[in-house]
Amino acid sequence: MKSNVTIIDYGLGNLFSIKRAFEHCNVDAKITQSHDDIGKADRLVLPGVGAFSAGIIGLKELHLIEPIKEYALTGRPFLGICLGMQMMMEASEEFGKHRGLGIIRGTVVPVPSKGAGSEKLKIPHVGWNSLCKPGYVDSWDKTILQGISLGTYMYFVHSYYVEPSDKNNCVAFADYGGHRLPAVIAMGYIYGCQFHPERSAAKGLHILENFMKI
């Protein structure tokens, strides 16, 4: 019997690319807007591309916020991708102040426009960047990064990034102009990826396979 994953559709995000990526990993992937499907999911994915406010509005209009928050309390595996990861936080500063899902404490703030040496940085941060391990993280074993080597490149597209209140929620970061931008966050079996694993070739698929094993 194949493993299965439920992908939330709220009007934003490259849903079918994510669905195909999971199917490539021999996983049954279901796209849904159903409260019941979310409640019954074995594993849940919240994708997203675009502005934080538009994402939250989309979830509100479909009355999906409470079902998602209730799911997060169950301890079952949950993955936020790009905007989906950002919406897990308590609030965002993108185009004003906006309240998030509050699943993980912290805020969403702009990617700095200047590097540590005051050089101008391109915004959004787009393209391939390597994954680094914070000094307080001993190993990526038993996380969705198990088997991923330090320096592995993933594909990023974002103008904002998350700042968890607890630094220990950040298990990997990408260096951009000397700034450490959290690339993977975790709290129990709740994970977020700022990059797009579905667009990050074989190593990105490996991360999705790891998610299906936790």
Per the residue annotation, which of 98, 125, 158, 196 is the catalytic one? 196
Q: Respond yes or no: is residue 82 known to be catalytic.
A: yes
Backbone angles phi, psi at 23, to 5 degrees: -65, -35
Per the residue annotation, which of 82, 98, 125, 158 is the catalytic one? 82
Q: Respond yes or no: is residue 158 known to be catalytic.
A: no
Q: Respond yes or no: is residue 198 known to be catalytic.
A: yes
Q: Where are the alpha helices (DSSP H) in 25-129?
A: 35-40, 52-61, 65-72, 83-87
Please give the Cα distance from 19 to 27 (Å, whole number): 9
Q: CB under 8 Å to 44, separation ≥6 — which residues?
A: 5, 6, 8, 38, 68, 71, 76, 77, 78, 79
Please give the Cα distance from 153 to 130 (Å, whole number): 4
Give the 3-state DSSP-derived string for 163-209, with helices as H, strands as E and coil as C: EECCHHHEEEEEEECCEEEEEEEEECCEEEECCCHHHCHHHHHHHHH
Please give the Cα distance from 142 to 23 (Å, whole number): 23
Per the residue annotation, which of 25, 125, 170, 198 is the catalytic one? 198
Query: Is the Cβ–Cβ distance between 163 and 180 less than 8 Å?
Result: no
Catalytically active residues, by annotation: 82, 196, 198
